[in-house]
Structure 1
Amino acid sequence: MLDQTSPGTLLSELRKQPPLVHCITNFVAMNIAANVLLATGASPAMVHAQEEAGEFAAIAGALTVNIGTLSSGWLGGMEAAAVAARQSGRPWVLDPVAHYATSFRRTAVGRLLELGPAVIRGNASEIIALAGGASRGQGVDSRDGVEQAEESARLLARAHGATVAVTGVVDFVTDGERAARIEGGSALMPQVTALGCSLTCLVGAFTAVRPDAPFAAAVAALATFAVAGEMAAGKANGPGSFSPAFLDALAALDASLLDRDAKVFAA
């Protein structure tokens, strides 16, 4: 397995010592993201105020930053938390939601990138644009295929010394040298709001387990999502029933099942 570390092994480690994950995420995602972490076995904390975000990031196992519902006050909290995480040796994950949409977002993401995220997780349009390319993204929606973002992901990873995860029909993860593709999931997943944002928080949970191996952590998180998505799709009649079935699937996953069904391929 990649990095001699299987997704199932990391899932077992996560559940043996549940990490505290500091999630600065958007209003839409808070509930589902917290439930995704709980179902997988991690402990979520939604702390975004500038007055305490830095202090809290220093005690969490990992930090995740999502700019979906960005404001000046939240940006201050994000920066304080990222600085504290770096100073404390805690990994942090950046989700640059629709960063290309406005000048405020572009400036915010530029400032956050300078603070050294361990992992950057986004859709294809976000990653292409973040690497300086021309994407076809519109708002939070990706209009580009993951395969079109692979070279951008490699360039971005090398430029920032980070692992980059591009999520879509087939996910792609790279640290600029190694790369992997993860297959699975369900066509219902894009029809449930904030699942992508929740995935960012789960990447943070796995990165807390293996802070020295963000590539393996990102692969494990994406494989967990993909396998649980396939399991849930078999029981759901549509997006409304998919959401609770997905949480149930995450909770039901164990190491052997995850390693048996994960479709991870070197790229």
Structure 2
Amino acid sequence: MTSATPPSNNTSLTSSQAQQPLSESALRALAATAIEQIGKKQPLVQVITNSVVTNFTANALLAIGAAPAMVDIPQEAGPFATLASGLLINLGTPTPTQAQAALEAAQAAHHAQTPWVLDPVAVGILPVRTALAQQLLDFKPNVVRGNASEILAVSGQSAGGRGVDTTNTVEQAQQAAVALALRIQGIVAISGPEDFVTDGHRHIRLGNGSALLTKVTGGGCALGSVMAAYLGSSPSPSTYFEYTCAAILAYTIAAEQAAAQAQGPGSFALHFIDRLAQVSAHDIHIHAKISI
């Protein structure tokens, strides 16, 4: 694994930005606006992800109107991160080459102020990706998303779950998420039956979704790329928190709508991409389940 020089500056949210009060109605309105911005800006999203989910992730980005770019080799990943609208780094299958590319991209994104998302898949029980996740945290991801066990592990409070499956509840990981958000001066999102999002000061619960997302390869991983696209469409870092919530709402509302049509996991995957392409600002206003 190649090391990289830790950053000396920080482009994440400031404390004054993070402490701005937020109402349910304001979040709903901003999330609806965020969906419209994706279509207008068509963000270019660099994806460094695991080999199992590449196709599903690219299709999810195309469905929302973003442009996926799977640039994940050394000497290309860093320069491309300075050009991209947003970056996802997913640690699902971190080969030595991809690990080096991830470090290059994270460092470049941090210095270029390209918003980026870290998905620490299966950290804790597996040593290579666990060490890599800690190195990547030095470059201040704007968002860390994962299941409860992954968030507990990356924050140093547990040994992780059972591979990619969580053995902890969202509630058990909330304090770790708050501490991690303060550490990176960014946002932490825990995926579960009810998602939890925090910037260390504000705490949001989002109640949409479908259990069928856990039955499709890439159901969780693709969410990180959608978050990166939403961050890349945000007008400024001061709205990264709201745009992260918007990404989750659009994704999970589409999952609910797809589940209503599906006969099982296979048909759900097809319907989900369709619904993700069609989810609208109106859907946010009508269907979003938000608790502050």
Q: TM-score per shorter chain, which class?
A: over 0.9
Give the aligned partner of residue 7 of structure 1.
Answer: 31
> Cα gap change, 1:4/1:187 in structure 2, threshold over 3 Å: closer, same or farther?
closer
Normalising to structure 1: TM-score of the pair? 0.96
Report deviation, 1:255: 1.1
Report deviation, 1:94: 0.4
Give the aligned partner of residue 256 of structure 1.
Answer: 282
Query: In structure 2, what residue type is equivalent to 1:222?
Result: I
Distance 2:206 2:172 in 1: 16
Which has the higher mean CA deviation after the structures are superposed, 126-135 or 213-222? Answer: 126-135
Give the aligned partner of residue 60 of structure 1.
Answer: 84
Query: In structure 2, what residue type is equivalent to 1:261?
Result: H
Report deviation, 1:3: 5.5
Give the aligned partner of residue 72 of structure 1.
Answer: 96
Give the aligned partner of residue 232 of structure 1.
Answer: 258
Aligned residues with identical type, % of pairs: 41
After superposing on structure 2, the runs of 4+ consecutive aligned residues of structure 1 that deviate more than 6 Å are none
* 2:148 pairs with 1:104: no
Query: How many residues were matched structurally?
Result: 266
Give the aligned partner of residue 27 of structure 1.
Answer: 51
Query: In structure 2, what residue type is equivalent to 1:253?
Result: V
User: Residues 116-175 of structure 1: CA distance to partner in whole angstroms, max 9, x if unpaired?
Assistant: 100000100000112221256111110111111111100110111110000011000000
* 2:219 pairs with 1:219: no
Q: How does 1:177-196 map to 2 (within 5 A)?
A: 177-196=201-220
Give the aligned partner of residue 43 of structure 1.
Answer: 67
Report deviation, 1:5: 4.9
* 2:226 pairs with 1:202: yes
Residue in structure 2 matching 1:241, options 239, 253, 267: 267
Q: CA RMSD in A?
A: 1.3
SS in 1 for 2:118: strand
Distance 2:130 2:49 in 1: 17
SS in 1 for 2:58: helix
Report deviation, 1:103: 1.9
For the 8 Å contact 1:127–1:149, the answer to whether it is kept is yes
Query: In structure 1, what residue type is equivalent to 2:47?
Result: C
> Cα gap change, 1:145/1:224 in structure 2, threshold over 3 Å: closer, same or farther?
same
Query: In structure 1, what residue type is equivalent to 2:282?
Result: S
Distance 2:134 2:210 in 1: 33
Which has the higher mean CA deviation after the structures are superposed, 107-116 or 205-214? Answer: 205-214
Q: How does 1:130-141 map to 2 (within 5 A)?
A: 130-134=154-158, 137-141=161-165
Distance 2:266 2:291 in 1: 31
Distance 2:231 2:29 in 1: 13
Give the aligned partner of residue 155 of structure 1.
Answer: 179
The answer for unaligned runs of 5 or more in structure 1 is none
> Cα gap change, 1:25/1:75 in structure 2, threshold over 3 Å: closer, same or farther?
same
SS in 1 for 2:93: coil
Which has the higher mean CA deviation after the structures are superposed, 257-266 or 50-59? Answer: 257-266
Query: In structure 2, what residue type is equivalent to 1:121?
Result: R
Report deviation, 1:4: 7.7
For the 8 Å contact 2:124–2:160, the answer to whether it is kept is no
The answer for unaligned runs of 5 or more in structure 2 is 1-24
For the 8 Å contact 1:6–1:259, the answer to whether it is kept is no
